[in-house]
Chain A
Amino acid sequence: MRTAFIDTATALLDEDPRTALVLADISAAQFAPAGHRHPDRVLNVGIREQLMIGVAGGLALTGLRPIAHSYATFLVDRAYEQIKLDLDHQGVGAVLVSIGASYDGSAEGRTHQSPGDVALFDSLGDGWTVRVPGHPDEVAPLLRNAATTDDPVYLRLSEQRNTEAYPDASRLLVLRRGLADAPLVVAVGPMLDPTLAATEGMDVTVAYTHTPRPFDSRGLRALASTDVVLVEPYLAGTSSAVVSRALADVPHRLLALGVGQTDLRRYGDPADHARWHGLDADGLRRSISAFLGSVGG
């Protein structure tokens, strides 16, 4: 996904004089060719993430379309107040593109992990579009779409990926349909493959989206039965409030699966972390089976 981002952003800088890229040393070498061609629009501010977002805000104030990029924890967590004030409060947008989502940086430890990033955007109100692609081929169309607007967009890239791309999944896309009134399982971004594996043989409807904000509330209402399961690659429960609002007048039960709140203080690889957070196929199957089996129990 990172390569797809770099290739697409490089092309956008060549094609559209309105686009500008702001870096804080991360991926600077990969963008060096673009920087040679567009020295005024490829800006590396050094290891200065607050300034990176401030500069993005200033660029947007002059009418350019800034793309800012770093690891999620530096881009979002560290510079949160700049996102709130230098973009939101000024009434301007940018495309923020992160890498290292959740436990991609498992071996790097907590300093390089940001499972709470999407929840932080939720704290800013409902203006942000949050894109969580599940496949590298979903990245280019999402980035190109974002570059044509002035809206605030967060594009969350991961090294975890599904086997198939679904570029059109801005709304809930049904990939497996259960019988009438079957429970609905919503998988976001790279959680699709483990979710499909976990629910193999179950009577459930599985729907996929790479765009949790704005959440497809209408699609949710159309597909949901009594039981709804969310499977998200960031903090568990991040979308619970959205789902609860969408189904406020409908009797329902909700199971929200995702990354746990606790810093595990363990290294290992992303597959280990997926297992520890119950987000591998076996863990998901256990959680979903227990939830669905507990009806009336």
Chain B
Amino acid sequence: MTTTLPTDSGARLPGLIRRLTGDEKHAPSAHSTIDVLQVLYDRVLRVTPDTVDAPERDRFLLSKGHGPAAYYAVLAAHGFIPDAWLDDLAGPESRLGHHPDRLLVPGVEIGSGSLGHGLGLAVGTALGLRAQGLLKPRVYVLLGDAELDEGSNHEAIAYAGATGLDNLTAVVVDNESASYGWAGGIASRFTVNGWTADTVDGRDHEALYAALTGHRPRHPHLVVARTESKG
């Protein structure tokens, strides 16, 4: 298994994102995730274009599948997909839609778009790895704060915490999109169920790196990445 060396995709990302068009509606959600994605793919995830099917790879599941411009740009920057794919987002011949499809895009672990599915799939993936003795890979799943409104997430939060599923990290990008907000903070909803949690500035790469690698034994881990309000 090849370990990804630290790389810096930052210089390429603005140009790659500019090549993506036609998704204006979801632009705020795309930009809210770019720093988390950059840190994950540059420094954290042990997965490369050559290991997208390797059992030992880390898994990254984008649950918040809308506004995937930043995701596609990061995948292109790391060589999972050709840059040219970015020029025809959701076109008739495109493999890149407004919501990503795992059967169409190399390196994409789940097809997503409908909210509230990624965390359940991530829990199953973490359990499946553990059952096969694959104890090194971590499962990262990225959600939005409004997505947590979906009750399916609450099923997964409670179960993962109760069973101490410690190869799982959820990342919630909090741009204050939830209709009624989260009194007491997002992290409290997880920690009360047995998760460990770090809440950090979602634009601070060093803080994100520390949080994304700050999991502890016997607990699933949460990273809340706070960004500017969607407004």
Contact = CB atoms under 8 A, between A and B. Distances in A.
A53 B119 CA distance: 12
A262 interface: no
B131 A58 contact: no
B131 A41 contact: yes
Contacts of A56: 124
Contacts of B162: 46
Contacts of A22: 124
Interface stretch (A60-68, A170-178, A191-199, A279-287): A60-68
B159 A61 contact: no
Interface residues on A, range: 20 to 34
B207 interface: no
Interface in A39-57: 40-41, 43, 45-46, 48, 50-51, 53-57
Nearest to B126: A58
Nearest to A50: B152
A40 B121 contact: no
Contacts of B130: 40
B111 interface: yes
Interface stretch (A84-92, A181-189, A200-208, A217-225): A84-92
Nearest to B112: A85
Interface in A244-274: none
Interface residues of B, number: 32
A81 interface: yes
Contacts of B229: none
Given A51-B152, A85-B111, A62 B128 contact: yes
Interface string B122-150: 11111111111010000000000000000
B116 to A, nearest CB: 8
Given A51-B152, A54-B117, A61 B109 contact: yes
7 contacts: A40-B131, A45-B159, A46-B159, A48-B156, A48-B159, A50-B152, A82-B120
Interface of A: 20, 22, 40-41, 43, 45-46, 48, 50-51, 53-64, 66, 81-82, 85-86, 89-91
Interface of B: 55, 101-103, 109-111, 114, 116-117, 119-132, 134, 151-152, 155-156, 158-159, 162
